[in-house]
Every structure is written in C-alpha cells, then in structure tokens.
Amino acid sequence: MTTGIPGVGAEPSAPALPDRAAVQRRTVRVLVTAQAVAGLGMGSMLSSGGLLVERLSGSASLAGIATTLITLGAALAAVPLAALSRARGRRVGLGTGWLLAAAGSLVVLAAARLGWYPPALAGMLLIGAASAANLQSRYAATDLAEPGARAGALSVVVWATTVGSVLGPNLSGPGEHTARLLHLPPPAGTFVFSVAAFVAGWAVVHTRLRPDPLLMLPAPAPADAAAAPRFTARMSSALRHVRSSPAALTGLGALVLGHAVMVAVMTMTPVHLAHHGASLSIIGFTISVHIAGMYALSPLVGRATDRLGRVPVILLGQALLVLAALLAGTAGSRQGPVTAGLFLLGLGWSCATVAGSTLLSESVAAAHRPEVEGLSDTLMNLVGAAGGALSGPVLAGYGYGGLNAAAAVLVLPVSAAALWFVLRGPARRP
C-alpha cells in the first residue's frame, strides 16, 4: 500500500539490470585493451626466449625448446582456465592466466640471474598460460553478443593481437639496455617488460571487466546444473558435448586443422628461404606479411562471417589454405610467390579461426561453453606443436613442396564436413 507521499509506504523497487548491449560494448573495449597490453608481453619475449635458453645451457639444440614449452604450457592451462572462468567468471579465468605468466617471467629472470637453465624452462611452461588467456579472450567477446554480431566481436579481439605481434619483438633493443642495468644476460631484459605487460593485462580485466559477461548469462537449468559441476577441468566432458553436435565438430575441426596447416608451413618457410639465399630482411618481411594476413584483416573476416554465415567462411578459409600451399609449394627459389603464399596462409587461418571459433562457441549449451572453448585451445596448441615438430623432418625428406602438399591434405576433412552442411541446407546462422 502506498501513501502518495514519495518514499513513504512505497514498495522497494528492484535494482536496475545492466543494459546488455552497453555491457557488451564495454566488454569488447576492455578485452581489446587487455589483449593489446598482455600480448605485448608475449611478443617481447618470443624473440629472445630461445636465445636466453641457449646462453644459459650452452647448447644450441635446446634453444628451440623454449617455444615448445610455451606452447605446451598453453595447452595444459587452457582447460583449467576455462573451467575457472565458468566457476568464477571471465575476470578470474583470464586474470589468473596472465598472473601465472607473470610468475613464470619472474622465474625466468631469477634463473637468468643465477645462470641456471632448468628453472628457466619451468618458467617458460608457466608463460604459456598467457597464450591460453589470450586465446580465450576472443571467446569472452561473444558471451553477450547478439547472434548476428558474434563473429565481429570475436574478430576485433583477435585483431588486437596484432599490437603485441608487431611491437613486441622491437623491444629487444631496450631489453638489452635493461638487462645491463640489472646485471642480467642481454636476452633476459625483455622478460622484465613481459612481467609488467602481464600484470597490466591482469589489472585491466580485474578492475574494468565489471559486470563479468559470463556471469550475466542465464543460469543453467537445474538438470544441466546437476550434470555439470561448477568447476571441472576434465576434457572428457567437453569432448562429449562437441561430439553431440555436428556443427561444433565442424568448428573444432576448422580451428585445429587450420592451425596445424599454418604452423607446419610457417615454421619451415624461413629455413626454405635461407636455403635459397634469402637475406634476413627478406625472411623477416615475409613473416611480417604472414602475420598481417593472420590478424590485420580479421575484423573484415568477422563481418563476412556474420553476414554470409559461419560455414561459407570456413570453406573460404580452406580454399585459401590450399591456394597458399599451391603458390608457396611450387615457388621454388622465387621469393615473391612464397611471400604471397604466406599472406594467403595467414588469411586462410584467420577465416578458419574466426568462423570456426564462432561456430563452435554457439553450437554448445552456454553451461558447457567455457570447457569446450578450453578444449579447442588445448587441441590447437598440441596440434600446432606437433605440426612444428614434424615439419622439419618432412622438409628434409620431401622438400618445401612436399611439406605444403602434406599440409594441404589436412584441409580435406574440414572441407568435407562443411560441404555436408551446405548440401544439407542448414540455416546460415546457427
């Protein structure tokens, strides 16, 4: 009963719910900022991690293990971080990944100071958690997005990775100066920047990712909640949900196999160019063009995915990967076609990643989405590590053309699944 007098006898009003569209816009802005800042930490140390391990161990053969351990660390961290996001929200899940990476960078710095390389390897493993957090940021952008804007939101966060990829390696010079000031080996200086970048990434999501987009989603039905505990890092549950959805399987296949094609060819391209007399500047330019293909055009890829559909863009990505393998694999000693092929390789990866991630995320129930997303990142990193490890023996045995041909074969399963969707005639936006 009300009295007619303001504030007297009036029923208490329910707190106003935050506007979903406004929260989504804020979420994307925060994720882009965090991705750019924390990605700088990854980019700055990737160029010097192998050099530091070689210097500490005295073995050139151990230099390549730095990148392998970071990739393995990302694979191991992906599912636990995703499960933590489901239990506590994206803010905790992503932030924990970047804090673990900051701790790993500190371990590397301590190892460099003491001159011990085994602790440095353990630190590299922890740094992989930053890569897992960077990958999961793209999924966080889709939590509150409308179906017709999910790929666009995801692609903008992917695009933000360009900042770290381009600017990070250029910190090697300032890193050497920093290392001298701290009496560290020259390659260790960039890890000081990595600590600052990872902590800054954590601070951005911890202070600004409010309200948490994942926690704003409707609570699962009682039956789903009983079947899925609040925190679990088991991959078997995620696999079960993916297998139950052909669309999710197609999206996962596009992500994992597209990544394998890209890593296998990209890893051995510098070796191939060097064998044919290319200078370091030409090799660096080729890889820069490849990275531009991966990230720079991702907003356009996202827009195409929302307008044309997920499956058509996945098919476009497979066609681009095949064209890239054909162009680069038949180039021989010609540097121009190899560079063009690497650009198309990056663009094909972008199509497969943006469209595949969107299709996978929206093809499983919201209650199980974080674990499925973590599973996809785990498999991407494991297959990427395997592709990088196998590409050397394949290059040695069958040449650069044989490597590209073998990589192109991986396109067939995804193409077949995507064509099945087209012939079956499902809705273009699942």
- How big is the chain by its Cα radius of gyration, in Å? 23
**pLDDT tens per residue, range 106-163:** 999 999 999 998 999 999 999 999 989 988 998 899 899 888 898 899 889 988 877 7
pLDDT of residue 10: 43
CA 303 to chain CA centroid, Å, is: 19
- 356: burial class by Cβ within 10 Å (0-12, 13-18, 19+)? buried
pLDDT of residue 305: 94
Query: Which backbone phi and psi does 80 adopt, to 5 degrees?
Result: -60, -40
Neighbour count for residue 107 (Cβ, 10 Å):
20
Residues of the chain with pLDDT under 50: 1-15, 222-233, 426-430
In the numeric block, which tokens belong to residue 39? 């990605």
Distance CA 186, CA 184 (A): 6
pLDDT of residue 61: 63
141: helix, coil or strand? Answer: coil
Please, where are the H alpha helices in 90-211? 90-114, 117-140, 150-167, 172-181, 189-208
Distance CA 190, CA 179 (A): 8
Neighbour count for residue 112 (Cβ, 10 Å):
27
Which amino acid belongs to residue 229? P
Distances (CA, A) of 129 to 79, 81, 101, 392: 11, 8, 6, 26
pLDDT of residue 335: 83
pLDDT of residue 287: 78
Closest residue by Cα to residue 146 from 225, 249, 28, 241: 28
Query: Which backbone phi and psi does 276 adopt, to 5 degrees?
Result: -100, 20
pTM: 0.77
pLDDT of residue 329: 87
Cα end-to-end distance, the chain, whole Å: 48
**Structure-token match 């996001």, residue found:** 85
- 222: burial class by Cβ within 10 Å (0-12, 13-18, 19+)? exposed
Quick one: DSSP state of residue 14? P
In the numeric block, which tokens belong to residue 186? 């020259």
* Domains present along the chain, CATH in parentheses: 20-214 (1.20.1250.20), 234-430 (1.20.1250.20)
pLDDT of residue 90: 93
Distance CA 229, CA 235 (A): 13
pLDDT of residue 225: 45
